[in-house]
Structure 1
Amino acid sequence: MKVQLLVSKWCPVCPQAERIWTEAAQKVPMDLEVLDVAERNGREVVSRLRIKTVPAVVVDGTLKTVGVQPLGEVLKLLGA
């Protein structure tokens, strides 16, 4: 499973989302990629999926959620 977490340097809650998703990646097998929306790879995903807010989570090419979820919600989202 490929998970892309889209973040921004100016986002006040993105570091919290990154911590939660990093912890989830230790519990559930996934390929976690953190992308800054100001960089090329992040802009490509934002443009393709028309993402308007960060943090945003893309799982296997599909936008799944935006905002910060508690670890339990993240694990549920991943089917754990």
Structure 2
Amino acid sequence: MVKVTLVHSEWCHFCPAAKSLWRDLKDKYGFEYNEVELDTPEGKELAQKFHIRSIPTTIIDDEVAFVGVPDREQASNVVT
């Protein structure tokens, strides 16, 4: 099963759109999904591990797949 992790922050203006997109796709396709706040220990660990410099960043199966809000079609293609 595909595992999607969205690294986001409360102060990010683009993150709500990314959250909405991934939540909708999760409901439609049923993959594993997790949201991680950048300013938490887990978020800081992911930022260091994946060299995250911009958010939202989407990690899919342990690789950075998207930086920013992905196009719905491109995101759908990755999780199906």
Common fold, TM-score beyond 0.5?
yes
Question: How many angstroms does 1:77 deviate by?
Answer: 2.2
2:13 aligned partner: 12
1:63 aligned partner: 64
Within 5 Å, give how 1:12-51 maps onto structure 2: 12-51=13-52
Runs (4+) off by over 4 Å = none
TM-score normalised by L of structure 2 = 0.91
Structure 2, unaligned runs of 5 or more: none
Structure 1, unaligned runs of 5 or more: none
Verify: 1:77 aligned to 2:65, yes or no: no
TM-score normalised by L of structure 1 = 0.91
Between the aligned partners of 2:69 and 2:78, the Cα distance in structure 1 is 13
For these two proteins, the number of residue pairs brought into alignment is 79
Q: What RMSD over aligned residues (CA atoms) do the two structures have, in Å?
A: 1.0
> Cα deviation per residue 1:44-74 (whole Å; 9 max; x = unaligned)?
1111111110000001111111111232221
Question: How many angstroms does 1:9 deviate by?
Answer: 1.0
